[in-house]
Amino acid sequence: MLEAAGKLRSVSVTVVEIGADDVGGQPFHWAYFPEERFRFYRVGSPSEVNPRLAPEGARSFAVEFSHRGPIDPGPLAAHAVASLHELGLLDRARVRLLRSRTIPVAYVLFDHDHAAARAQVIAHLRGHGVHVAGRYGNWEYSSMEDAILSGRDAARALAA
């Protein structure tokens, strides 16, 4: 079982959080950036979802970089600020907050070993009375809604 568990791999995500004076850029909740010139894959603007997530006259951004293994967040933060400035979303001279956070196990990596290793690990856990739930328990990609439903199903199984 430990050998199978060792075959389950993941991708890390470093999120660069930026708070800046609002320059009136295009409003959006989430945008994806598949261009090679951008090292990040997605930018969110939480304050566009809920204006209380930034002070009046300011806007918040969450710039997401995926990677494997440890990474220096400093260059990622610099790239995020420069890129959002280039896109007209912020003025780099008016950044109020800049911080980075890394989620070491953010997304499951679906490779050739994934399905068999996952099945073996889950069967082993179930054989010991462990109910798995959610993205990390099931070692799958799932949305927040899927995770809630998975948790509900696990709770129902425990109550039965």
Q: Which domains does the chain have, with CATH numbers?
A: 2-8+109-159 (no CATH), 10-107 (3.90.660.20)
Residues 6+ apart with CB under 8 A from 114: 7, 8, 9, 108, 139
pLDDT digits (tens, 9 = 90+) for 87-132: 999 999 999 999 999 999 999 999 999 999 999 999 999 999 998 9
Residue 72 in this model has a pLDDT that exceeds 90: yes
Average pLDDT, the chain: 94
The reported pTM is 0.84
Q: Is the Cβ–Cβ distance between 54 and 81 less than 8 Å? A: no
Supply the pLDDT for residue 136.
86
